[in-house]
Structure 1
């Protein structure tokens, strides 16, 4: 076997980093190529990052909640390669096989070592499962880690023996009476091994040890505080390691009687108790005399002030919500766009009687072909007509090169609101597709966006964006440009509104339009002419036959 490192790929247009929201695998899990291993949030979406390898998870190099630059190593795998002896020193040196309870046996597609290669004690052997592989969705694997359950030991009740969340819970409840005391007290996810365990060529892991000097612990010991354990290796969950970092504690110094796979295992409670003892021992003792009446010094780290502020927040009824993930990255992108490109928004209204009639006439034909026909394909074709006449709205300003690139493709991004945040899948080559083809593609992309099943490539390459806030409610808005594009068109709801015809006020279906432009590239007059072209094609749908 050999160790393969996997870097965070480019998961979105112009994305330089992403927040690792959650791991979908743990060290020891066997994964297949294209199987999701992590969820990463970018400025537009929550995406699943697939593995590039078939193998066993060796080490996780990032913590949940950590911002990771594109190109940084986030995970490593043990991968079988032909001719390497089917196991060998790499896997044995990295971590004993008996320390990987979640690792199923090799499946039939991978050569199995014979008895001579495995060694006398069979250390390289992995536990068998009925099929040689554990079939379980990420949600079931995550629950298994939370409950401290070996997913490979769970009997699956789903199709083909697939393990469900209910199977994991039932297994955990069934083992509750016979589980070890440490697992019963605090079942936690299987910890990521340290570089000493994994042999990762000196790469610093997100779960590696802190300052080996341990100056705070040494000072506390000199003052009569707890004696540091001074271990070489300590197992702990990512959450526990975060607590240790926040409290400035070296995990190898934290006393514990618990073990996992023969190694010392530390919980968050152990860390807090040790940190409190160290801080108490390190506090200066007030000298007797007039200073006895003075206020006592606050413990290191200002904990009392933090607690007081928290209590005050709770007492006032306010709620604090972390500004991170999709909301933070969207905020950064919107800030960049708003403060880089001077926005101007042009509003207008199209009278769309003929468009409504045309859609009604085409709906039966579309339904016969299994297509749900909305107004969006008509709008997309009208926009392409406008972009062809006014190419500066289909452009990008490259400030460093001092040039404006007029795009030759007509790739329209469609903003989709999802539970995970705003996603903008891109429909490519709109000028080359018919109404029904566009309708089918838009419906498919929107559905997969809401299910978080979009591929990163499907959100790249847009030249102009459409946002349909009218689907939720509203007439006009001031949409923010999807930078580095130079324009975005917002659509209000198509409703009957009063219009003046032949000197009389009559009801008619109208479509409000809100066009935001980058005023560095597009003049207001050009924006108005573009809007007029779009409205001309929406009010006379037969013109779309030329597009």
Structure 2
């Protein structure tokens, strides 16, 4: 039977953006298998499947904006006659005879801000759920930021989010109401249950605490790492996967999770200390179950299949088989991966149903910790705390600027930048542009210097194809692109956006002029679609309309170069006999030094400058035929 799965309640939001589709046509899915990931203004959430079956068709794709009730996919469900063997076994264990009936009572539970570890208050910097989200135990709910650390607050109960009492930017305290959760149904006997026919005895487990030593995990080939933060204290209760401390190497920082659930007995290291693989860092008192729970029940003559029980509640289930295209991770892990620049599709999950845990990400980035150690004792100081000397005002950054900042930071940190400065004689081409204004007006377009530079730039990129390329992840080769799609940086009220103008080599001046004007207007009115900002082969950033003489543009990965244009100005140029005024266009070319040598960087700007100086001779061929 084919069933429709629709977008659920978005918690008051009108729409959200699909950032990832975790299934494909033909995928076999279970209940709670993640289908897609949505991103709204304040949170990212996974949409789980409410049914099990085989995906027949998918009606949305990554980048789409969706709203409540929109069709997500069609699923061919499993026949009602099929009963999972684990569920049947569980039913046999729980149902004592046909006269037993169980009732469900959902409970509304308020989750509060936990102990902040001595801090008076903290700021809510992210909310990872929305009203209507289904959460599991330990799923991240919100992220708090204090003076010295940032922490995820996990769910203490599983269920569905009913109300959220806090918002991003709020200052909260220990014990303050965070959100309300309708917890999973509680099973209890009905009033008319004949208890005389039931005899259930559960032997209490014999428990004995044991002391486990937690050691520094494998650091790869790195000799040592530095402890930058210890997140627990003696006597504190921790659960498996809870972060214990943060280690930092030359190129990356990683959290060390607890391998056990228990109580911290001792801490053998301290912040600032250099540690090695296998070095003891703390001990935990762990409860050992010396014998399993045993139940004695009166035999049941039959099984009431109408009673639906969660097999996972009483027995371990086998992990579901997910396809390679499915990435199962919670919002907290996705946020961490984004900060580290990790592609989750390359990470193997070790959690339930292949879920990617924080420790899986940490294993993935250990190779960076294994990089050769520096002989320098220089240590980067922590970010300084703001101490205001007068009146201040807090101005929150728009979401677009926050997201752009993350990508700019990633590109600046990971790409070894070199910027080559040069000037091009723009005198004759500018004279041609002024003479062409009347012709441009007939086409109802404005002919800007940027359009002319783009047409000339295509020819320089053909002569130097390494600049119209992308470096592979391993840094072992270039993908030379046979197309010319130029990203053009546009300043919008909410921050920097880079729409892509495609096939510049195949378009005339009029088409390019109108297209640039159109995307610039869409950027100012927040009307750009995600697909309009993907697929560039080279990027330009023009500040000529504002001013300035030079700047260092940041390479827009995966491109390997970006050209910055500043304001033209007349300067005296010596022609061998006398100084004459020439209109010069400043060029600022930033490039990835792993892909491009300095000599080639100079050759490229010289070639571009020469072509710009001569472009007036053949510019007429750029008009529409």
When normalised by structure 2's length, the TM-score is 0.44
Which structure's residues are more often strand, by fraction?
Answer: 2
User: Which structure has the higher relative contact order (CA within 8 Å, separation 6+)?
Assistant: 1
Q: Which has the higher helix share?
A: 1
